[in-house]
Amino acid sequence: MSAFPYILGIESSCDDTAAAVIQNHKILSNVIAGQKIHQSYGGVVPELASRAHQQNIVPVVSEALKQAGINPKQLSAIAYTRGPGLMGSLLVGSSFAKSLSMALNVPLIEVNHMQGHILAHFIEDAGNKKPRFPFLCLTVSGGHTQIVKVNNYFDMEILGETIDDAAGEAFDKAGKIMGLDYPSGPLIDKFAKEGNPEKFHFSKPKVDGLNYSFSGLKTGILYFIQNETKKNPEFVKENLKDLCASIQKTIVDILMEKLLKAAEQNNISQLAIAGGVSANSEIRNRLKALQENEKFEVFIPKFTYTTDNAAMIAMAGQLKFELRNFSEITEPTIAKYPI
C-alpha cells in the first residue's frame, strides 16, 4: 500500500457524471461526462439525467482510475455525493459508490455537494493560497445561492440565501427568455464580453438582511423583452450582447452587495466564491478588484473546480478520511441536504 491513501470521489447530483482520484490533497484525475441532451429543454430533465448517469458511471469511474494510474484494489475509500440534488441522479452515484465500497471492503464517505464546492478551495493545485478559518464563501450554483461562514472544514453556517431562484437559475432563465440553450450562464458570460453593461437597467430586489431574491428580476427581464419585441421582433438579436452584459452586471451587483454587507457585519475580510456561477468572468473580476483595495483577501477557485466536478467530492472525502468520519451503507441520499 502506498504511503498516502488513494480516494475515489463520485459526483452525480445533477447532469454531470464525474469521478476523480485524490492522493495527499492532490488531484490525480478528474473526469466529467456532461449531458448535452438537456440543451434544448431549457433545463435539466430529471428522468433523462438519471438514465445518462446509468450509462456514464462505469466508463467515467474506469477512466478516472486509468488516468490516475491505479487499479481499484489500490483505493482506500470511496466518497460520493449524498445530496443535495436530483433524487434519481443521486441514486445512481450513491448506489455505485456503496457497491464499490462493499466489493473492495473499504470505507464509504458521504459528502454534501455544497460543502464539496467550498472545500474545493483546499485542493493542492486549486489556486494559490488557501483560506484560513473563518472565511466567507459565496456559494452560487444552478440550485443554490448562499453566503456561508466557514468556521472549519465541516462547520459551516448559512448567513443568507435566496428566498426563491438561485443565481444560476437567474442566468439560465434569462437565457431561455432570449432563446439561448441551457445552461445559459456560460453563453451570457461569453456574449457579455462584447456588450455594454450600462445599456439596459433592471430593477434590483429589496430583500431584508443577507438574503437574496432573483425571481422578480427574471419577471422584469421577461416583461421588458416581451415589450421591446412587440415593437421590434429583431430586438433580442440586435441587442444580444448588450442584453447579456446588462443582465450579467445586474446579477453580479446583487450578489456582491450582500457579500460585502456580510463581510462588514461579521468583520471577516477573507472572501471566497464557489459553485458553477463562480466561473463567471464578471464576478471573478469584481472579486479580484476587491483584493486591490487591500481591505480584503479573496479566493477564486481554479476554473475546473467551479462547475460540478468530482475533484471537490474527493477533496471533501479526503478531509473526512483524515477525521475517520466514515458513513454507513444504509444512509439514504438526501435531495434537500442542508450544508
Does the footprint of Zn ion cover residue 115 (CB under 5 A)?
Answer: no
Q: Which is nearer to ligand KG4, 194 or 322 (CB)?
A: 194
Does the footprint of ligand KG4 cover residue 275 (CB under 6 A)?
Answer: yes
Q: Which is nearer to ligand KG4, 68 or 313 (CB)?
A: 313
Helices 235-266 + 185-192 axis angle, to 10: 100
Helices 281-292 + 185-192 axis angle, to 10: 60
Does the footprint of ligand KG4 cover residue 14 (CB under 6 A)?
Answer: yes
- The correct pick among 88, 131, 160, 183 for binding ligand KG4 (CB under 6 A) is 183
Q: Which is nearer to Zn ion, 165 or 308 (CB)?
A: 308
Cell of 280: 463567471
Alpha carbon 109 to its chain's center? 20
Q: Closest distance between ligand KG4 and the C-beta of residue 108, in Å? A: 22
**Helices then strands, each counted (H, E), the chain:** 9, 10
Answer with the entry of Zn ion, ligand KG4, none that 317 interacts with (C-beta below 5 to 8 A by kind).
none
SS3 content of the chain, % helix, strand, coil (to 5): 45, 20, 35
Does the footprint of Zn ion cover residue 308 (CB under 5 A)?
Answer: yes
Q: Closest distance between Zn ion and the C-beta of residue 169, in Å? A: 12
Answer with the entry of ligand KG4, Zn ion, none that 168 interacts with (C-beta below 5 to 8 A by kind).
ligand KG4
Say which residues have a Cβ less than 8 Å from residue 136's Cβ, sequence separation at least 6.
147, 148, 149, 150, 159, 259, 262, 263, 266, 268, 270, 271, 272
Cell of 322: 483524515
Q: 184, 176 in Cβ contact below 8 A?
A: yes
Does the footprint of ligand KG4 cover residue 143 (CB under 6 A)?
Answer: yes
H helices present in 202-310, as ranges:
215-231, 235-266, 281-292
- The correct pick among 11, 165, 172, 242 for binding ligand KG4 (CB under 6 A) is 172
- The correct pick among 308, 312, 315, 318 for binding ligand KG4 (CB under 6 A) is 308
Does the footprint of Zn ion cover residue 172 (CB under 5 A)?
Answer: no
Does the footprint of ligand KG4 cover residue 279 (CB under 6 A)?
Answer: yes
Answer with the entry of Zn ion, ligand KG4, none that 277 interacts with (C-beta below 5 to 8 A by kind).
ligand KG4
Cβ neighbour number for residue 77 with a 10 Å cutoff: 22
> Strands, E, within the chain: which ranges?
6-11, 17-23, 26-33, 75-83, 108-112, 135-140, 145-152, 155-161, 270-274, 297-299
Of how many residues is the chain composed? 339
Radius of gyration over every alpha carbon of the chain, rounded to an integer in angstroms: 20
Q: Which is nearer to ligand KG4, 29 or 146 (CB)?
A: 146
Does the footprint of ligand KG4 cover residue 192 (CB under 6 A)?
Answer: no
Does the footprint of ligand KG4 cover residue 186 (CB under 6 A)?
Answer: yes
Does the footprint of ligand KG4 cover residue 107 (CB under 6 A)?
Answer: no
Does the footprint of Zn ion cover residue 141 (CB under 5 A)?
Answer: yes
Cell of 182: 441551457
Q: Closest distance between ligand KG4 and the C-beta of residue 172, in Å? A: 5
Binding-site residue total for ligand KG4 (CB under 6 A)? 19
Q: Closest distance between Zn ion and the C-beta of residue 244, in Å? A: 22
Give residues in contact with ligand KG4 (CB under 6 A): 14, 141-143, 168, 171-172, 183-186, 189, 275-277, 279-280, 307-308
